[in-house]
Amino acid sequence: MQMSGAQMVIEALIAEGVDTVFGYPGGAIMNVYDEIYKQDGFDHILTRHEQAAVHAAEGYAKASGKVGVAMITSGPGFTNAVTGLADAYMDSIPLVVISGQVPMSLIGTDAFQEIDAVGISRSCTKHNYLVTDAKELPRILKEAFYIASSGRPGPVHVDIPKDVTAQMAEFDYSNPIALETYKPTIKGNSRQIKKAVDAIVNAKRPLFYLGGGIINSNASEEIRRFVSMTGIPAVETFMARGTLRYDDELLISMLGMHGSYAANMAMSETDLVIALGARFDDRVTGKLSEFAKNANIIHVDIDPASISKLVNAHYPIVGDVKGVVLAMMDSIADRVDRSRYVPWLETIANFEKLHPLSYQEEEGIIKPQWVIERIGELLGDHANISTDVGQHQMWAAQFYPFTRARQFISSGGLGTMGFGFPAAMGVKRADKDRISINITGDGSILMNIQELMTAVESNLPVINVILNNQYLGMVRQWQTLFYDKRHSSTDLSTGQPNFTMLVESFGGVGYEVTTKAEFDAALKDAVEKNVVALINVSVARLENVMPMVPSGGSLFNMMLASKEK
Amino acid sequence: MADARRVISVIVINEASVLSRVTDLFSGRGYNIESLTVAPVPDSKYSRLTIVTSGSIRVSEQIVKQLHKLIPILKVYEHADLVEKEMALVKFPVSENISDIGMLAAAYNGKIVNVGEETIIVMVADEPKRVSNFLNLVKRYHPKEIVRSGSVALER
């Protein structure tokens, strides 16, 4: 069928089952927006900034497991979106981001709103395309969705010049994808799997090291079965929170820079690390030469480049973690002797008893950790938890009682302040029946505060809970600990908006909270009213995230409690 | 970690931007490429790149893995046992001892390929190290311009 490039974009999105596009129009993408106006196959949500469009698409993708789609114009529209692309790239989130470009005849002439978009996105996308002919569009869009969602997922950027969206060509979306040079390895090598299983059976102190790849692989059910059938304890990375239920007896907690004492000590004492979809990030390992020093390492990952990148794997297995774990379960069958691990589990229980994740309550002031726990008590499984970046993010990862995969949506690899609110809008869009909470700080929330307008207008009732300590708290914490308390540019006490007036001017509801009772009332009210809300919670100003492995330190050398008052 | 010279061949789909995808992996890590040659593979839609670089083994290995990950890349060869050749063109003033230069070039698989009114051009093709030796030897004949092609390599 003959149609314009712009119509092809619409037809391809519908064929891919897209129900939501987040975006912002502009000159170079107008032909496509004209076709969006005419169609009713999907909804378009107008964000108020292109960065937010991409973060919303990320939140949508993370909560739904589907490919998130964002649409933007050329030049500044695109450059605004780059942070979102980089964020998705770091956290392996499947996205297709479509940008307008100046017409082919003007490319390279410093035309109005021209920038070399594919040149910029090359290093922060899984793949990108500059479409030079409309007849290429069906193939490219189909490949884009396939590449984004297969193998190790990631963002794919498609840049389309304005004349190409006007050009007429044949549209046929039924051609199969023929990518000779891209064939991700899905099935793990069975001999390697057998060897790994033997290592598991023979280990005395094995430990599951669960990573975000499990969430991407939709493998949390299989992992839960594997953990419970073997009786082997597990630590989760930040990205894997929710893989096991918070109350699973075999879950030690999160490991890493702000991991629990027990999780980090278990990693230091284990004799066999079973890494599933984890990539040995520096925030997890601390000092590499001391990381899991006594252990052999099984590393299952779909990305061969992740294996032995930082820590040498004794049993490397390239493949999709779900299939590999199913094969491991088959092979291990009844060969596990649970009594073997009893002393190991006792050791871990002692670690947990010695220094549990905890905080000190103080009279007359709300502790930020309490807020997280309280949201958990009141909403638990009914909420999806997005976060921004900083102290509040770490407390959320430490203290929220996660019950399922895809419940925790946060910017892990890139650490993007301003991620949380737009992502929570995408989450709400993907999972309408659950409450979408954004746990944020007084620094982060202002980085995409304009999205209040999007949320109100598009009826995406996100509840933003601001843990307001009037500091850029995580940087302040480092300044306190490592820069002799020189709080350079982190004290926000003289730079606070009136959050309630702010949200109300956009048509949402604001709450000022200084007591626990006020917090309960505010959260209940916001949930009942089902509105866009800002709950501004005044919390203890100088609370530090603990435990903490100082940057570059060894996991077993943790700072345990804040002495600062 | 010791830096080692490495020769990597990459088979890529012959399309716009593929060269940047490859070289970005080096530049993003602050790695210099010593030489790089590209030409189409006959009767196919592919091109072959030969890259000579030096750097720590760990980073080189990582670059090779990342090269595999790039979508339009078919194969990556890290050469251990290889035949490697390079060509050089050198321009001399005709006032120099042309017969000496011609003899030297012949010892390095080369010859005089162009004679003009004021200059001659000599071609040599040999292993990169030997090409360097040749260029050192002929310094005394006051070469006016030198161009090296960069290496091409095949596994034995």
Interacting residues of A174 by C-beta distance below 8 A, sequence separation 6+: none
A300 and A406 in a common domain: no
Please report the pLDDT score of residue A530 as a whole number. Answer: 98
The count of domains in chain A is 3
A348 and A236 in a common domain: yes
Tell me which residue of A194, A339, A350 sits closest to A269, measured CA to CA. Answer: A350
Q: Among this protein's residues, is A474 annotated catalytic?
A: yes
A198 and A338 in a common domain: yes
To the nearest whole angstrom, how far is the Cα of A181 from the nearest Cα of chain B?
A: 5
Please report the pLDDT score of residue A564 as a whole number. Answer: 44
Is any Cβ of chain B less than 8 angstroms from the Cβ of A34? no
Asked if the structure places residue A129 within a domain, the reply is yes
- Quick check: A182 and B71 CB within 8 A? yes
Tell me which residue of A224, A415, A192 sits closest to A304, measured CA to CA. Answer: A192
d(CA A347, CA A265): 10
Residue of B nearest to A125 (CA): B70
A109 and A240 in a common domain: no
Strands, E, within A278-353: which ranges? 296-301, 315-318
For residue A253, list its beta bridge partners.
A235
Tell me which residue of A280, A285, A316, A323 sits closest to A298, measured CA to CA. Answer: A316
A420 and A321 in a common domain: no
In CATH, what number is assigned to the domain containing residue A38? 3.40.50.970
Residue of A nearest to B11 (CA): A181
Backbone φ and ψ for A511, nearest 5 degrees, come out as -135, 135
Q: Which residue has the tokens 């997922």?
A: A153
A459 and A310 in a common domain: no
Please report the pLDDT score of residue A562 as a whole number. Answer: 53
Neighbours of A131 (CB within 10 A): 25
Reduced to 3 states (helix: H, G, I; strand: E, B; else coil), residue A79 is helix
Distance of CA A271 to CAs A226, A294, A353, A512, Å? 19, 5, 22, 50
Please report the pLDDT score of residue B4 as a whole number. Answer: 81
Reduced to 3 states (helix: H, G, I; strand: E, B; else coil), residue A491 is strand
Q: Among this protein's residues, is A162 annotated catalytic?
A: yes
CA A346 to mean position of chain CA atoms: 33
Closest in A122, A127, A180 to B20, CB measured: A122
Residues of A in Cβ contact (< 8 Å) with B21: 122
Rg (CA), chain B: 18
**Residues across chain A:** 565
Q: What is the pLDDT along chain A (565 residues), one digit of tens a residue?
A: 999 999 999 999 999 999 999 999 999 999 999 999 999 999 999 999 999 999 999 999 999 999 999 999 999 999 999 999 999 999 999 999 999 999 999 999 999 999 999 999 999 999 999 999 999 999 999 999 999 999 999 999 999 999 999 999 999 999 999 999 999 999 999 999 999 999 999 999 999 999 999 999 999 999 999 999 999 999 999 999 999 999 999 999 999 999 999 999 999 999 999 999 999 999 999 999 999 999 999 999 999 989 988 999 999 999 999 999 999 999 998 898 889 999 999 999 999 999 999 999 999 999 999 999 999 999 999 999 999 999 999 999 999 999 999 999 999 999 999 999 999 999 999 999 999 999 999 999 999 999 999 999 999 999 999 999 999 999 999 999 999 999 999 999 999 999 999 999 999 999 999 999 999 999 999 999 999 999 999 999 999 999 999 999 999 999 997 544 4
* Residue A131 token pair: 């479409």
Please report the pLDDT score of residue A206 as a whole number. Answer: 98
Between β-strands A95-101 and A155-161, what pairing exists: parallel, antiparallel or unpaired? parallel
Asked if the structure places residue A19 within a domain, the reply is yes
Backbone φ and ψ for A333, nearest 5 degrees, come out as 35, -115
Asked if the structure places residue A181 within a domain, the reply is no
Residue of B nearest to A305 (CA): B65
For residue A522, list its beta bridge partners.
none
Mean pLDDT of B27-52: 94
* Residue A203 token pair: 């280990």
Q: Which of A162, A322, A367, A428 is catalytic?
A: A162
A407 and A263 in a common domain: no
Terminal-to-terminal C-alpha distance of chain B: 28
Question: Chain B interface, mutation test: which of A89, A181, A183, A312, most B Cβ atoms within 10 Å?
Answer: A181
Domain boundary among A135, A170, A205: A170
Question: Which of the four pLDDT bands, split at 50, 70 and 90, describes residue B69?
Answer: very high
Domain boundary among A354, A379, A407: A354
3-state secondary structure chain B: CCEEEEEEEEEEECCCCHHHHHHHHHHCCCCCEEEEEEEECCCCCEEEEEEEEEEEHHHHHHHHHHHHHCCCEEEEEECCCEEEEEEEEEEEECCCCHHHHHHHHHHCCCEEEEECCCEEEEEEEECHHHHHHHHHHHHHHCCCEEEEEEEEEEEC
Q: What is the DSSP letter of A161?
A: E
Confirm if A284 and A255 have CB atoms less than 8 A apart.
yes
Q: What is the DSSP letter of A217?
A: T
List the domain range (segments joined by +) for residue A29: 2-170
d(CA A197, CA A329): 9
Confirm if B84 and B21 have CB atoms less than 8 A apart.
no
Distance of CA B92 to CAs A278, B111, B115, B129, B133, Å? 60, 13, 10, 21, 17
Q: Which amino acid is at A331?
A: S
Question: Which of the four pLDDT bands, split at 50, 70 and 90, describes residue B56?
Answer: confident
A489 and A400 in a common domain: yes
- Quick check: A118 and B17 CB within 8 A? yes
Q: Which of A16, A50, A58, A451 is catalytic?
A: A50
Neighbours of A325 (CB within 10 A): 25
A373 and A334 in a common domain: no
Distance of CA A242 to CAs A91, A215, A278, A283, A370, Å? 16, 9, 14, 19, 19
Please report which helix (H) or strand (E) contains residue A309, including its range: none
Q: Among this protein's residues, is A50 annotated catalytic?
A: yes
Asked if the structure places residue A282 within a domain, the reply is yes
Give me the domains of chain B, ranges plus CATH numbers. 3-80 (3.30.70.260), 83-155 (3.30.70.1150)
Between β-strands A234-236 and A251-254, what pairing exists: parallel, antiparallel or unpaired? parallel
d(CA A278, CA A92): 12
d(CA A300, CA A285): 17
Domain boundary among A327, A354, A381: A354
In CATH, what number is assigned to the domain containing residue A215? 3.40.50.1220
Q: What is the DSSP letter of A362?
A: B
Confirm if A479 and A66 have CB atoms less than 8 A apart.
no
Q: Which residue has the tokens 């490039």?
A: A5
Residues of B in Cβ contact (< 8 Å) with A182: 71
Closest in A181, A303, A305 to B73, CB measured: A181
Q: Which amino acid is at A149?
A: S
d(CA A14, CA A18): 6
To the nearest whole angstrom, how far is the Cα of B74 from the nearest Cα of chain A?
A: 5
Please report the pLDDT score of residue B3 as a whole number. Answer: 74
Q: Which of A3, A113, A229, A512 is catalytic?
A: A113
For residue range B100-141, list pLDDT tens digits in order. 999 999 999 999 999 999 999 999 999 999 999 999 999 999
A488 and A409 in a common domain: yes
Please report the pLDDT score of residue A108 as a whole number. Answer: 95
Which burial class, exposed, middle or buried, applies to A84 when counting CB atoms under 10 A from its CB (0-12, 13-18, 19+)? Answer: buried
Percent of chain B with pLDDT over 70: 99
3-state secondary structure A374-400: HHHHHHHHHEEEEECCCHHHHHHHHHC
Confirm if A436 and A460 have CB atoms less than 8 A apart.
yes
Q: In what order do the strands lie in the sheet with A20-23?
A: A43-46, A20-23, A68-72, A95-101, A155-161, A127-130
Confirm if A199 and A296 have CB atoms less than 8 A apart.
yes
Please report the pLDDT score of residue A565 as a whole number. Answer: 40
d(CA A243, CA A234): 10
Q: Which amino acid is at A305?
A: A
* Residue A46 token pair: 């107008």
A404 and A516 in a common domain: yes
Confirm if B76 and B100 have CB atoms less than 8 A apart.
no
With an 8 Å Cβ cutoff, the interface of chain B facing chain A consists of 12-13, 16-17, 20-21, 24, 28, 62, 65-66, 68-69, 71-74
Asked if the structure places residue A564 within a domain, the reply is no
- The ipTM value here is 0.91
A409 and A331 in a common domain: no
Asked if the structure places residue A22 within a domain, the reply is yes
d(CA B19, CA A332): 46
Residues of A in Cβ contact (< 8 Å) with B17: 118, 122, 130
A 245-284 residues with CB < 8 A to B: none
d(CA A416, CA A447): 10
Please report the pLDDT score of residue B2 as a whole number. Answer: 61
Asked if the structure places residue A363 within a domain, the reply is no
Tell me which residue of A124, A144, A139 sits closest to A71, measured CA to CA. Answer: A144
Q: Among this protein's residues, is A548 annotated catalytic?
A: no
- Per-residue buried b or exposed e for A358-391, using 16+ beta carbons within 10 Å of the residue's own CB: ebeeeeeebbbbbbbbbbbeebeeebbbbbbbbb
To the nearest whole angstrom, how far is the Cα of A12 from the nearest Cα of chain B?
A: 21
Asked if the structure places residue A557 within a domain, the reply is no
